[in-house]
Amino acid sequence: MARKIPVTIVCFVCLFMIVFSSSAVLGKGTPNTPIHIQADQLRYNKDTNKYTALGNVVIKGREMEIKADKIVLNNTTKDAEATGHVMMTDHQDILTCTHLKLNLITQLGTIYKGTLKTKKGNYVIMGERADRLGPERFRVYNGTFTTCSAKKPAWKFKADRMDVTVEGYAVARGAKFYAAGIPILYSPYMIYPTKRKRQTGFLIPSVGGSSRSGVMISDSFFWAISEDKDATFTETYYGNRGFKHGLEFRYARTSKSQGQLNLYYINDDDYDANRWAVIFRHDELFNNGFYAKADINKISDNDYLIDFSDDIPGKSSTDARREDILKSKVNFGKNWSKYTFNGEFSYYDDLTQPNNDYTTQRYPYLTFNALEQPVFSTPLNYTFNSVYAFYYKKEAEKNQYMDLHPTLSYPLELFNVIQVKPRAGFRETMLWPSDVADGQKDDFESRSIPDFDINVYTVFQKIYKTSSGNAYKHTLKPEVTYSYIPDIDQDDLYWLGRINKESLLSYGLTSFLIGKTVLEDGNSVYHDYVRFKIYQNYDFEADDHEFSNITSQLDLWPSKYISSSTRVIYDHAEGDFPQFLQTVKASDRRGDSLWFDYRYRKSDTQQLNLNTFLKLTEKINLIYSSKYDFREDDFIESTYGLVYHPQCWRLDLLVHHINKSDDGTIPSETQVRVMLTLEGLGGFGN
């Protein structure tokens, strides 16, 4: 859904920007602010203490500059009058007018036939006359506003007269909205707030629909509770379902503490049930470095995300509709320079089961790790990893689990070329089961297993220079690792999964190509061109096929417009590829773009995802997006779109089709989405 903007802002924005232009023109000053004058001719009348500047006149103040053919300045009162090709610049905004009167101290004055162009937002504001009547009071005659810089703007707002009080209200008489020069909206009298802060009020309605839910009409009320809190109440009518109520509450307790609560409820006529969703997000960073994050998701029924997939923030509609497990979690912890502590309480809703009585929940899950660091002043390094977890099922067993794994390593270098790091560790695992079923063991179990590995690698580099001063660096890193776990008797363990004896040799090669380009100003930019990695394992303990599958990954960036990533797993024993992933992204200077990825997994996946954006003309673009499943021999979802984008507005027309899944859990649906955007103001639609 597009960003919504208050109705009052649409009608008021032209007034606000003219107010802004008046403030910018009149500048800021004090009686002691120096004023610098340049001109072809400069006359001074000692009796009246007036300066008259003629020809290429420039007056510079602390925050502004005024140019004109003629400027008369009363040095006593600081009243200035500029005529003839008047241009005022304030930062990157430019005001032109035929006649300007202002007092450089009080900032009161009048602008005649003025046009303001702002860089930020590309605003164009014009007025026959604008008077500043007081520090926060303005009166504008025949004012217009648009973001179109063409002589005949595609759209504009206009009012015959506007009386504006900043941080108060604006009263407009004869307010009109023009499209292609034709007035399509009119109000003889309007009053609305002119506050700089967020304002309570209704938002622009949304209209849409789908083949399953019917026509959709939605309107929202925005409540600016305080500077750190606001809320949006939304009422949505679905032709086939009824009224859906929504609440979105946002808060920022501090700069390091913010969150959002979303509540939804509908008495669904089509589903014949009361349905609801609760979504809560919170991030907290305490002064002592500890953090906490909450991500809570609860829904009334297993089909809720199929019908209202947009309600879960941060998740695409496609993923939400196909979600089997809905997870809620609370994370907390702290990171030090050499240590990390993390915890999580998690709850899983299995959307494939009628209830969660036999779904494994995990709370808490705690980890404390010491990163690799020296043992006092010795050449030895150590690490320490630890886990504590409590696994719970409502109608089944519970388990407390703890795993401790300290290691010692001794990094060394041979012949100033080969890097070697032997490492030895010891793993202690403990488990306390309870509430187990009859006939199963519930005794405390523990297991102690040592492990060992040694890593050896070296790096070869060569730099290739060109006559233009550019250079390319090629790096090769061959690497070998041997890991060993002895055979430990674990026959008496029931709950702990067995760790088998391991004697594994892993070897691989990594290659990089990086380029350096020298710019005209002497600075250099760097670009990654190629990254390639290939590796394989040899298992001394395996009964057959001691060599594992070969895994390789190739990443290419031949230019800033093209990138590719390929990941391949090759089964040399079977002579085929059990896994393959290919991703390509391409674009050009015009703005055309193509992105696709092909995913293949021999056991269960063969899917192509495609997204394209094609610029037919400077104003017309085409959008196409699809997900095709080769195993189902059909499209999962498809989106067709047309974007019409003239100079200062945009119209998006999209048709989104969802196919019925093979198992029937996801029904077929077609959605039509329309979005109108006025550049600089935002958009409305669905």
Which region holds residue 14: left if phi is over 0, alpha if psi is between -120 and 50, else beta?
alpha
Phi and psi based region of residue 684 (left: phi greater than 0; alpha: psi -120 to 50; beta: remaining):
beta
CA–CA separation, 79 vs 49, rounded Å?
11
Q: Once rounded to an integer, what is the mean pLDDT over residues 255-277?
A: 95
- Interval 675-682 mean pLDDT: 67
Q: If you average pLDDT over residues 312-317, what whole number do you get?
A: 79
Give the residue carrying structure tokens 């779109």: 641
* Average pLDDT value for residue range 228-238: 93
Dihedral, CA of residue 98, residue 101, residue 105 and residue 108, to nearest 10: -110
Pairing of strands 291-299, 325-335: antiparallel
The pTM of this model reads: 0.72
Cis peptide before 6 (omega within 30 of 0): no
Q: What pLDDT digit, counting tens, does each position of 380-421 carry?
A: 999 999 999 999 998 888 999 999 999 999 999 999 999 999
What are the pLDDT digits (tens) for 473-495? Answer: 999 999 999 999 999 988 878 78
CB 570 within 8 A of CB 560: no
Return the closest-CA partner of residue 95 out of 47, 43, 53, 130: 130
C-beta separation of 501 from 484 below 8 A: no
CA nearest neighbour of 645 among 624, 622, 625, 626 = 622
328: its two tokens: 């809620």
CA dist list (Å): 108 to 59, 60, 506: 17, 18, 79
Structure confidence at residue 650 as a pLDDT band (50, 70, 90): confident
Question: How many C-beta atoms surround the C-beta of residue 439 within 10 A?
Answer: 5
Q: Which CATH class is domain 7-197?
A: mainly beta
221: Cα separation from own chain's centroid: 25
CA atoms within 13 A on the CB side of 411: 9
Instruction: Please give the angle made by the CA atoms of 255, 258 and 260, to the nearest 5 degrees.
Output: 155
User: Residue 35: what pLDDT?
Assistant: 64
Per-residue tokens: 331: 């994370």
Handedness of CA 296, 300, 302, 304 (dihedral sign): negative
Q: How many CB atoms lie within 10 A of CB 378?
A: 10
Give whole-number Cα distances, 6 to 20, 188, 232, in Å: 20, 20, 12
Q: What angle do CA 487, 492, 493 make, to 5 degrees?
A: 85
Strands (E), 286-338: 291-299, 325-335
- Quick: pLDDT tens for 85-142: 999 887 677 888 999 888 878 878 898 998 878 776 677 778 899 888 877 777 888 8
Check if the beta carbon of residue 19 is closer than 8 Å to that of residue 136. Answer: no
| Residue 683 reports pLDDT greater than 60 | no
CA atoms within 13 A on the CB side of 429: 12
**Tokens at 305, concatenated:** 């995300």
**198 vs 279, more confident:** 279
| Burial profile 632-663: b = 16 or more Cβ within 10 angstroms, e = fewer | eeeebbbbebebebeebbbebebebbbbebee
Task: Using DSSP, state whether 310 is helix, strand or coil.
Answer: helix
Residues 25-56 have pLDDT tens digits of 333 444 455 667 788 998 889 989 998 989 99
Q: Which of 147-161, 170-184, 220-234, 274-288 has the highest mean pLDDT?
A: 274-288
Q: Which residues contact 591 (CB under 8 A, 6 or more apart)?
A: 613, 615, 621
Residue 657 in tokens: 């089709």
Least confident of 187-196, 363-372, 382-391, 489-498: 187-196
For residue 295, count CB atoms less than 10 angstroms from its CB and return exposed for 0-12, middle for 13-18, buried for 19 or more: middle
Give residue 25's Cα distance to chain centre.
37
